[in-house]
Structure 1
């Protein structure tokens, strides 16, 4: 599924979290499996991201048109077109309002090296990152964005 609410929680040890609505088909799958993958697709795949967010896996095989391999650590799907992917093993689940927050150890990491600079930052001349704005709208982060370092 496409998830709009997810974040790093800890750098050492590496821990990641994602909020999933309890009514989602993915919710029970993740809860039962105790593991999952997070895949980050480029902006050019925004339509596929959107479809993954609005179609239910209960009625649609969302992976049917995507190329993937099974993750080494979890067997979860790692999409070949991802610029970054994480394999995660759930360590905690907490309820917050209408979502549960799945907290997981990062146990596998994949990165398309061509999309990153030597310092680890994205190479925005080779990668356009989709920023989800809500209501089926996406913005493209690419090399035309100006960044400012505000450290004294």
Structure 2
């Protein structure tokens, strides 16, 4: 785990459920004062930053269906996906985004996950490649000012 005191951001290389369980247990520890929330991304805005939106997941009220996941090469023009993005109902988005001089296929979730489906070219020589990449993604989507 890595923590930025100035940005009040905690980065974890573990899965979201494990990280949240750890933080919950830590916050219930005597003498520890800890409050935490997941990042909330504007996935509609982020979709507009993608060169190509490849996937959108969102909750569904259809009978017998809890969520829907749409995949393809222009998912963001599908009416259901577009409505979910516009109404802030999307929980996950996958798309291609240029970070520096390289295009990466990335996933962002409302639980705070940032994942790359692409090899981290240019980051592989850094001490903590995924942390550096995650910070660059957050800067690119204007989450870090």
Query: TM-score surpassing 0.5?
Result: no
Higher relative contact order (CA 8 A, sep 6+): 1
TM bin (shorter chain): under 0.3
TM-score where L is the length of structure 1: 0.23
Q: Which has the higher strand share?
A: 1
Q: Which has the higher helix share?
A: 2
TM-score where L is the length of structure 2: 0.24
